[in-house]
Amino acid sequence: MKHLIYLSIIALICSSNPSFSQNINIPADSVTNLLCKKWEMDYVIANGMKIDRMPGAAEMNYEFNKDKTFVLTGNGSMKAKGTWSYDQNKKLIKLTLNGRSNISIISLTDGQLEILADTKAATPDDPTPIQMFYKISTK
């Protein structure tokens, strides 16, 4: 059951195409310093409800590197590599995974990362966006 939930979340992210504006108001040279860390999921907001990560729930963690790559890891042996890019004019950090640029970081601060998954393409009957909040990993 955990694997089904985990695969569903990955499918939503990989098949979505966010078109929301970004909220990253920091200098370009600060983006790398704030972003390039290991991040673990803290909680999710879906349909306006905060959902804390439950013990034993599927994990989706990121590690961002200064060479503009990242690794997405999950429970077990799940591991995916991608790239990230920052457009200072658009205040946008795009994550490209499996050739698709469909994940956006909409907020980045010293200690919190917010990713938006627009679910319109994955779930046309319920296109509610999902906000995923990450904190710096302690592992």
104/15 Cα distance (integer angstroms): 13
State the residue range of the domain holding 10.
Answer: 2-136
**Buried residues in 20-31 as b, exposed as e (16+ CB within 10 A):** eebebebeeeeb
Contact 102, 93 (CB under 8 A): no
- What global pTM score does this model have? 0.76
Amino acid 124: pLDDT: 59
Amino acid 133: pLDDT: 95
CATH number, position 118? 2.40.128.640
What's the number of domains the chain is made of?
1
Question: Residues 66-101: pLDDT tens digits?
Answer: 999 999 998 777 899 999 999 888 788 999 988 877
Residues of the chain with pLDDT under 70: 1-22, 118-128
Amino acid 125: pLDDT: 66
Contacts of 29 (CB under 8 A, 6+ apart): none
